[in-house]
């Protein structure tokens, strides 16, 4: 299993000199399980992945959306493989929103927001709205399970199991006073956890960076460490960095989290982890 991060920023893209080290593109994670290509979220990092995939076409891909807030779907209209006939893309999302996944993706490409409609894309696309706990089997070799997180309008966390290796992608979820029991079950014994560590404890409490962030649907790096420890996770990646955090701030967040959970790394664009 090989995991590559194409976008690790939260809320809005943040290009500029202060974010070049960790990157400014929003959420997109590539997971390779043998010949199977899985993608988690379609933030602006998806555009970069699409350019890389041009050399592999025709291709078949499985694209899972944690939820449909803009920073997780805004790269899809610029995903090159979706425009090329002969490619097959299977798209999955939660069934906990007012529209289906297909309707939501088409809506952001509707007039006057975008010049090309979803129906004009050339690839063959299938859409599936998932229920909580539903398992997707891919080729008899890959198992993708899910659970709900804690985020306004809902969010899904995903776990990929393949050939004895496992990765959990849990973004845009706010911690509770106890470790979230659903995430704890999903993460149990995982080789890698990619977790929403958007805030420092000071930012979350409102002691830095403006007012308190309680109820905004995001977590902190100490809570990431607490979940990783409770679930027996082997490695932790801090994800969904706040747009106000510079490279220096993310690096400091990484340093502080390593004091709690040594096998921690702050997610950065281009990072590849092999399991």
Across all residues in the chain, what is the average pLDDT? 96
d(CA 70, CA 7) in angstroms, rounded, equals 14
Structure confidence at residue 209 as a pLDDT band (50, 70, 90) = confident
Structure confidence at residue 96 as a pLDDT band (50, 70, 90) = low
Q: For residue 166, what are its two tokens?
A: 């496992």
> Which domain, by its residues, includes 137?
2-274
HEC-encoded secondary structure of 15-74: CCCCCCCCCCCECEEEEEECCEEEEECCCCHHHHHHHHHHHHCCCEEEEECCCCCHHHCC
Rounded to an integer, the average pLDDT of 55-66 is 97
Rounded to an integer, the average pLDDT of 42-64 is 97
Percent of the chain beyond pLDDT 90?
95
Structure confidence at residue 15 as a pLDDT band (50, 70, 90) = very high
pLDDT the model gives residue 45: 98
pLDDT the model gives residue 123: 98
- Residues 240/245/246/247 CA torsion (nearest 10 deg): -40
Structure confidence at residue 239 as a pLDDT band (50, 70, 90) = very high
pLDDT the model gives residue 94: 85
Given a cut of 90, whether residue 43 has pLDDT beyond it is: yes
Instruction: Report how many domains make up the chain.
Output: 1
Residue 113: which CATH number? Answer: 3.60.15.10
pLDDT the model gives residue 99: 79
pLDDT the model gives residue 92: 97
φ, ψ for residue 234, nearest 5 deg: -85, -40
pLDDT the model gives residue 98: 66
d(CA 220, CA 170) in angstroms, rounded, equals 13
Q: Give the lowest-confidence range in 87-91, 165-169, 205-209, 258-262.
A: 205-209
pLDDT per residue as tens digits for the range 245-275: 999 999 999 999 999 999 999 999 999 999 9
pLDDT the model gives residue 97: 63
Distances, alpha carbon 54 to alpha carbons 49, 153, 273, in Å: 9, 34, 22
Q: Which residues pair with 38 in a beta bridge?
A: 31, 62
């Amino acid at each position: 299993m090989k995991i590559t991060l194409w976008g690790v920023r939260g809320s809005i893209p943040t290009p500029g000199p202060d974010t070049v080290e960790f990157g400014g593109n929003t959420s997109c994670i590539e997971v390779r399980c043998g010949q199977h290509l899985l993608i988690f979220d379609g933030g602006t990092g998806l555009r970069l992945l699409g350019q890389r995939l041009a050399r592999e076409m025709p291709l078949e891909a499985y694209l899972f959306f944690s939820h449909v807030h803009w920073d997780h779907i805004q790269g899809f209209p610029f995903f090159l493989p979706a425009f090329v006939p002969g490619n097959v893309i299977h798209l999955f999302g939660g069934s906990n929103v007012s529209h289906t996944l297909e309707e939501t993706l088409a809506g952001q490409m509707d007039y006057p927001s975008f010049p090309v409609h979803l129906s004009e894309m050339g690839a063959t696309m299938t859409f599936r709205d998932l229920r909580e706990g539903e398992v997707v089997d891919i080729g008899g070799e890959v198992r993708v399970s899910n659970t709900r997180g804690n985020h306004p309008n809902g969010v899904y966390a995903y776990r990929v199991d393949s050939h004895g290796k496992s990765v959990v992608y849990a973004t845009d979820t706010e911690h509770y006073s106890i470790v979230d029991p659903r995430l704890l079950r999903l993460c149990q014994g995982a080789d890698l956890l990619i977790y929403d560590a958007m805030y420092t404890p000071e930012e979350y409490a409102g002691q830095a960076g403006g007012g308190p962030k309680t109820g905004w649907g995001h977590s902190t790096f100490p809570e990431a460490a607490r979940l990783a420890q409770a679930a027996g996770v082997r490695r932790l990646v801090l994800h969904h960095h706040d747009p106000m955090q510079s490279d220096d701030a993310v690096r400091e967040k990484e340093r502080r989290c390593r004091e709690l959970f040594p096998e921690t790394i702050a997610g950065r664009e281009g990072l590849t982890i092999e399991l």
